[in-house]
A and B are shown apart, each in its own frame.
Chain A
């Protein structure tokens, strides 16, 4: 089959400006571009939002959130974190007071049971999955919960192919079965949790047979998973976007956390919860305070003492209320209360659900500055485009991975043309707006962060180098903490246990976009091995695995619609319509289709997805749209 190469992007090498909305972008000097950007942002004070970058360094995110809070006086700062794992952070914070995964990669090599829930880590997190494979080779049994029988699921003892959006019924049924089988860890529940009685009542209706009806998975399979998880001495529960990218993503996360509380599979070596983050620094972006409700070090903005500390350190007043998250900022564009945006390294015009709506909203802004390494679809909408460096190869700094490990990134190549480092650009803008920040280098930024974030205090650049990264928390420069979080919950002394972990009382709520006669097929989305997000980075290399975008159907549906591999079909949701060629995948079942978002220039999958957001964390329901497939009047075969 002929490979269709995606659009390749060429690096931005000089600033671009637009003289008026109707004119094209033109080349400009840095001086001119920065002046214009500063003027535009100054006008937008009071209606400003900052999109920080989950792929840039911690140092850049620190400076970006500081720019929003200190220079622009707002907590409206967020990143694409919102589109993926914000529910994980929200759910984990609610249960444990901290938003990170509780375990380390190494621990999964030494665990007994691994549950991969809504996660095709084999494709999306291949090197994490190598650790899981070590665990499997060491004797761990893996269970996979996923609508598709993915490559990950093929490694499982048992794959449970549930209906999209029925994770809470599945989790509740597992919880009920554990309780009824007498497998709940009563000592841990008693010692470390609150709200168990309420939880017991919550899950009581979710019998195995009811769960079978709702999820589509045989009761025996659910029972087996429940028993395996509860009986394991150690168990790891891992999830990815299959859990979070729902309109009730945070509830989903809470439902999974409940299972760990029920069995005591948290706070011990080898037992824990592991949300797998989608971007190289999605963890760090949040840790650095590039989110609307936390200051650097994941410290709550509503805590007056915390605010006081930062106000002293930054010599500025911090707004004593949460800012808008990314989703809310987009809504605020709609109602005109957000007028200026400084977007660093993000591509929301293509990554947001319901992309047509996102573009329309971005167009409605008075002023948009985009700082990126490519002229993305979002940059094309900007008033000023600032050419930046690729964080991972052209700058120094740090990023934080899914196991909370802060690691050094280093400059290996010189950026092209006039492209400049993000931090320098932000500082130049800050200077133009009256804040003369002096950072000699990334390490200076980092040391400022260390001085205000206890969890990072112990991580000097020298120590990061010496240990090949250090996991937070690291409050001391002398020692390292355990690889897992929340060991405190097991402390025999109640005083040492801290805040007990509450069970999440969450209800099943089916996907918003219901299937019906008009839209009979459930479309879910995900990643492929060789491609990444909107394809701007991954489109740059010639992957032999890449075959472009397809709508993937099961063999039975392909036959029902009379379509063959490569044949273009019309794919229509309640929001939009695209044409895409067909691929047939036996991992799917009748009524379930799959697409990725890797080739938006070819097939704009997000024209189909629904912007039904998690009210707590703001992530959208990328994982569940209702579509129909129509054969085109004249068959066109691709490839």
Chain B
């Protein structure tokens, strides 16, 4: 491609960061010194253009090393990958974790989202900024949910360098957060994942049973606790047998859409187009959700095994694990687990000696809620802006790189292990007839024991809140996160099943259960939700791009108003909300008005 590059040159550090990822450049056309051979023969074309998917890892490499992405660094990366600089700029500016302007090497992300806001995040931010003062070398950035709601308020420090260093502070105090930012290496180690599992060690857990029990770094320990029995079973059953088990188990997707997993696998497996791809969606970004993080940190091999099974069943030889950029510990654990599995022949050309080739590549997100939408996630992996695609065609037909793709959430995949070890009938016997199996819930907010809970489908909201020790003065519960809906404190008998919540006019979503007491002013909460959607809208379609702005403006106007003073804006919100729901391209815009609508209709907000 005849790309245009400006005059900016990369620094040695930036060049080294890119070369560490891609290897040294092969010719002067890619950025090496000029040689006589280069001036006689240059290869390019399709092969050069096919490396676009390394753009996001390349941006990470530079951002990790120097903390921001300069013109010279971007140009060099583009030259190496044959990517137009304008497009790379469009991609770099899409993600919240990247900066194309100079900034300090250390960025402290302070969560100001729902659970953290209710736990004093605004004061924490102010305190941190005051303590750090100007010229501190730390950039404080207000962040959407960091997935640490059980330990709210939370902060994540990222210090660029070789290697990049991270430290989590949660629950954060001004002192701890500043310490984490100033010297992430000497900050206290994060508590183990098991602390997020109040039920840890209890009998009967299926998905969480190994969290806190096994050493998440040890493949042998995983195998000593039943690991890889499901994969062996899968090889016995054959791909069609695995799909039959999964179909018969009644497993549906846990990411929020509740699509039958067996049907998705079958649809992908039967596509004649090759290759097939597997994508694990670990871009857990729904405010209030942290179950996938806990699974990945506490039992990483389970996901590796489950992905291998899914790949085997659907005829994929490569699995992409798209991991949320704000999950440094999950990244470390999974990188280690994948390497170990590869070293032991559990990934690679000949998995378990069965002649099946499968490997996993981890791709990091970079701060974009929208990339949790499956087609946006594909675009993100491919090196494009994480904008959702129009469906149809659906991913099972044209997904990642335009090929048949099965995309599953972490929790969904991990459910496949007990399905294969117990057998479909036994698994299907758990839960209700239409919502089978165990379900993870992320309980946070006004409860004594926030964390991830595993209960069989069918438990009521009240049961769950009782487990978590709901506090006095419960005003409302947000189910399903920002894209979900509120229920009242007197609706605790709602059964936590897909059908039960649907009948109650609400949603299970990704399993968020966030309890709010009287102390939290509802209009502020709604405004925070509206801000979240405005910030996270990709901007592709008009209803969402402008609608989320108009929604936020209206909620701003009525933040202190009620009754007739708010009626006009509420009518406006309804009209805009209806158009967002009906006419947006993807689920983000379609659900951006859900929570606000439920607060108005169910909780009587602004009355």
Contact = CB atoms under 8 A, between A and B. Distances in A.
- Note whether A and B contact each other (Cβ less than 8 A): yes
Given A122-B2, A586-B28, A586-B34, A154 B44 contact: yes
Contacts of A220: 41
Contacts of A589: 36, 39-40
A218 B37 contact: yes
Interface in B1-36: 1-3, 28-29, 34, 36
Contacts of A154: 1-3, 44
B40 to A, nearest CB: 5
Contacts of A216: 40
Given A151-B2, A154-B3, A161 B41 contact: yes
B510 to A, nearest CB: 38
Interface in A470-513: none
A533 B195 CA distance: 76
Interface size class on chain B is 10 to 19
Interface string A579-601: 00000001001100000000000
B130 interface: no
Given A141-B46, A151-B2, A586-B28, A158 B34 contact: no
A124 to B, nearest CB: 13
A552 to B, nearest CB: 14
A141 B40 contact: no
A136 to B, nearest CB: 8
B42 A149 contact: yes
A177 to B, nearest CB: 16
A122 B46 CA distance: 18
B45 A142 contact: yes
B1 A155 contact: yes
Given A154-B44, A155-B2, A156-B45, A556 B37 contact: no
Contact of B34 (A136, A153, A555): A555
Given A157-B46, A556-B34, A221 B39 contact: no
B45 A158 contact: yes
Given A122-B2, A555-B34, A586-B34, A157 B43 contact: yes
Closest 8 CB pairs of A and B: A157-B45, A151-B2, A589-B39, A154-B2, A159-B42, A221-B41, A161-B40, A218-B41
6 contacts: A149-B39, A154-B1, A157-B46, A158-B44, A159-B42, A161-B40
Interface string A125-163: 000000000001000011000000101111111111100
B1 A217 contact: no
Contacts of A159: 41-44
Interface of A: 122, 136, 141-142, 149, 151-161, 216-218, 220-221, 554-556, 586, 589-590
**Most chain A beta-carbon neighbours within 10 Å: one of B2, B28, B41, B44:** B41
Contacts of B37: 218
A461 B302 CA distance: 74
Contacts of B28: 586
A353 to B, nearest CB: 27
Given A152-B2, A157-B46, 18 more contacts: A141-B46, A153-B42, A154-B44, A155-B2, A156-B42, A158-B41, A158-B42, A158-B44, A158-B45, A159-B42, A161-B42, A217-B40, A221-B41, A554-B39, A555-B34, A556-B34, A586-B28, A586-B34
Contacts of B1: 154-155
Contacts of B42: 149, 153, 156, 158-159, 161
A118 to B, nearest CB: 16
B10 to A, nearest CB: 17
Contacts of B34: 555-556, 586
B403 to A, nearest CB: 15
A542 B43 CA distance: 36
Contacts of A156: 42, 44-45
Contacts of A153: 42
